[in-house]
Amino acid sequence: GWQASMKSGSLSYILPCNRLPVQLISQVRVYTSNGQKKDLGSEDTNGSTPEETPNKAGTGQDMSNAGQKQSFIKEPIQVKVKAVLKKREYGPKYTQNNFITGVRAINEFCLKSSDLDQLRKIKRRSPHDDTETFTVYLRSDVEAKSLEVWGSPEALARERKRRKEAEIKYRENLFRNQRLLWEYKEFFGNTKPRSSAAAMFFKGPGKVVMVAICINGLNFFFKLLAWVYTGSASMFSEAIHSLADTCNQALLALGISQSARTPDPSHPYGFTNMRYIASLISGVGIFMMGAGLSWYHGIIGLLQPHPIESLLWAYCILAGSLVSEGATLLVAINEIRRSARAKGLSFYQYVVQSRDPSTNVVLLEDAAAVLSVAVAATCMGLTSLTGNPYYDSVGSLGVGTLLGTVSAFLIYTNTEALLGRSIQPEQLQRLTELLESDPVVRAIHDVKATDMGMSKVRFKAEVDFDGRVVTRSYLEKQDIEQLLQEIQQVKTLEELEAFMLKHGENIIDTLGAEVDRLEKDLKQRNPDVRHVDLEIL
C-alpha cells in the first residue's frame, strides 16, 4: 500500500488511508552515477532546506540541466513510540518468593516449629471460614533455614527419604495403630463435634428404625411359630417378610451410625451417603430374600399342594402383626410429615426424592407389611372356606410381588440419589438470583447444584466479576490522597511497574475476599448449601 511520488523536487511518502501518517525521513543522501554520495544536512531552524546539484550522468546528458537543482524539503518528524515493559522470564528463582504455610514447611523441609520462629511472618487472608487471617512464610526463607539446619541439600534429601520410608511402614501397620489415632484425635480435638452414636437412635430416623427392628423381630418369631404349626405357604411368606425387614432395618441402623463419622482426608465430604448405600442394599435384600423366597414357596405350593392345618393361631398372629406393623407405619408417617414440612415439600415429594432414605425404607416396608398381612389373611380365609390350598399359594405369590415392587422402588430412588442429582429448579433459581443481584457480579455461567444427600447441597458456578466494582471496593479502603501522591512520584517505567505490582496484588486479594463473601452469603441464606465452588472467569 505504499505509494511514492516525486513532485516539484520534493519526496513524499503516502501511507494507506487507515494508517497514521509518519514522516520517516531524517536525513537524505543523494548518490551520483560514479558511486559518490553527498549527505544533506538537517533542517534549519527557520524551515529552509539545503540544495544540491547532482553531477552529470554522462557526456550525452543535456548540459542545460546541469544547473538545475533538486531540492528536498524535510518536514518536522513526529514519531509516537509505544513504551512497553520488557517481557520477563519467570524461572524457578521467582517462585521461591511464593508463600508456604507452617504445616507444609515442617513436613516438606523437615523443620521444627521452633525453627520457624526466627523467620519472617506474613499475614494473609485465610481460606477457612473460622479464621480471617493466617500466618505464612516466604518459601526462600524456609529453604534457607532448612539448609542451615541440615547443612546441605543431600542431607535434606536423605532425611526426606527416611521419613517417607517411616510413613510407608506406618501405613502398613495402620490397623494396629487405630487406637493410637483415636487417642490422638481425642487429645487434639476434631474440627466438628462428633455426635454420639447412641443419641442418634433416640430421635428422628434413628428412633423410627429402632422401633421397626424391635417390632419386626417379634413378628418374625411369632409368624415362624405359626408356620411350623400350620404349614401355610402364606404364613411362611409372612415370616420371611418379617425376617427380611428385621435384617434390612439392622442394616439401616448401621448406615445411620456410619453416616455420622467425621470427614477425613480420604473422604473430605463426609460419609452421609452411607444411608443411601444401606438403603440400596436393603432394597436388594428385600428383592432376593423376601420376594424370591415368597415366589419360590408359592410356586412349590401350586405344584405340590398339601392340606393346611387349623388356621386359628395363624389368624391371631396375623392380627397382632397387623397392629404392630400399623403402629410402626404411623411412626414413620409422622416423622416424614414433620421432615417434609420443615423442607417445604409435600409428603409425596419427600418420599419420591428420597430425602431421608432410612425413614423411607421403614415406611415402604411397613406399608408393604400391612398390605401383605391383608393379602395373606384373605387367601388363608378363602382356603379355609373352600378347602382349596391353591388360594394360599396364590397369596404367597401376591406377597412376593408386593415385596418385589417395593424393592424396585427403593433400588431406583437410592440409585438416583447416589448418582448425584440436581436440586429442585426453584431452589437453584433462588441461588442464581442471589448471586446475580450482587453488584460485584456481572454474570454467572455453568451453574451446577448437586444434592449430596441428607439435605446437603454442593453449589458450583463460573462467575464473571465486575473489575470496576472490585477496584472501587479496594479504593474505598485506601487513603486517596496518599495514593495520589504515590502516582505523582512515578517518573520512570521501573517506578510505574513497582506501583502497579503493589496495588495489583492488593486488588487480587480484594477479589478473593469478595469470593469468600459471596460463598458465606450463600451458606447463610441457604443452610442446605454446605460446599460452594465459585470459579473466576
At residue 460 the predicted structure's pLDDT band, cuts being 50, 70 and 90, is very high
Residue 127: closest CA among 515, 522, 528: 515
**What is the structure's pLDDT at 44?**
43
**What is the structure's pLDDT at 89?**
66
Q: Nearest 5°: CA angle at 285, between 229 and 249? A: 80
**What is the structure's pLDDT at 46?**
41
Kindly state which CATH superfamily the domain 197-419 is placed in.
Cation efflux protein transmembrane domain (1.20.1510.10)
Residue 215: closest CA among 357, 360, 337, 369: 369
**What is the structure's pLDDT at 69?**
46
Q: What is the mean pLDDT of the chain?
A: 76
**42-56, 155-169, 420-434 — which is least confidently predicted?**
42-56
Question: What is the torsional sign of CA 409, 413, 419, 421?
Answer: positive
**What is the structure's pLDDT at 90?**
61
**What is the structure's pLDDT at 209?**
83
**What is the structure's pLDDT at 390?**
85
Instruction: Give the whole-angstrom CA distance, residue 311 versus residue 227.
Output: 10
How large is the average pLDDT for residues 172-196?
55
**What is the structure's pLDDT at 96?**
59
Note the pLDDT tens digit of each residue in 268-321.
777 888 888 888 888 887 777 778 878 887 888 888 887 766 667 777 877 887
At residue 6 the predicted structure's pLDDT band, cuts being 50, 70 and 90, is very low
Are residues 146 and 109 in contact, defined by beta-carbon separation less than 8 angstroms? yes
Give the β-pairing of 133-138 and 99-101.
Answer: antiparallel
How large is the average pLDDT for residues 449-471?
88
In this prediction the pTM is 0.58
Rounded to the nearest angstrom, the gap between the alpha carbon of residue 293 and the centroid of all alpha carbons in its chain is 44
**What is the structure's pLDDT at 75?**
61
How large is the average pLDDT for residues 348-353?
80
CATH number of 92-189: 3.90.530, 3.30.43, 3.30.70, 3.40.109?
3.90.530
Are residues 238 and 320 in contact, defined by beta-carbon separation less than 8 angstroms? no
Checking if the pLDDT of 507 tops 80, the result is: yes
Residue 212: closest CA among 367, 360, 362: 362
φ/ψ (deg, to 5) at 13:
-110, 130
Checking if the pLDDT of 362 tops 90, the result is: no
Note the pLDDT tens digit of each residue in 62-84.
444 444 444 445 566 665 555 55
How large is the average pLDDT for residues 344-361?
78
Domain boundaries in the chain? 92-189, 197-419, 425-536
Higher pLDDT, 420 or 406: 406
**What is the structure's pLDDT at 287?**
75
Note the pLDDT tens digit of each residue in 80-120.
555 555 666 666 665 656 888 888 888 888 888 888 888 88
**What is the structure's pLDDT at 470?**
92
Checking if the pLDDT of 404 tops 50, the result is: yes
* 93, three cell numbers: 528463582
**What is the structure's pLDDT at 522?**
92
Place of cell 528536498: 72
Residue 320: closest CA among 226, 399, 206: 226
How large is the average pLDDT for residues 447-472?
88
Higher pLDDT, 264 or 485: 485
Higher pLDDT, 79 or 255: 255
**What is the structure's pLDDT at 494?**
86
Q: What percent of the chain has pLDDT over 90?
A: 9
**What is the structure's pLDDT at 28?**
44
**19-33, 383-397, 418-432 — which is least confidently predicted?**
19-33
How large is the average pLDDT for residues 403-419?
85
**155-159, 230-234, 375-379, 508-512 — which is least confidently predicted?**
230-234
**What is the structure's pLDDT at 530?**
86
Per-range mean pLDDT, top range of 33-37, 52-56, 457-461 = 457-461
**What is the structure's pLDDT at 174?**
64
Checking if the pLDDT of 130 tops 50, the result is: yes
Per-range mean pLDDT, top range of 235-249, 354-368, 370-384 = 370-384
CATH code of the domain occupying 425-536: 3.30.70.1350
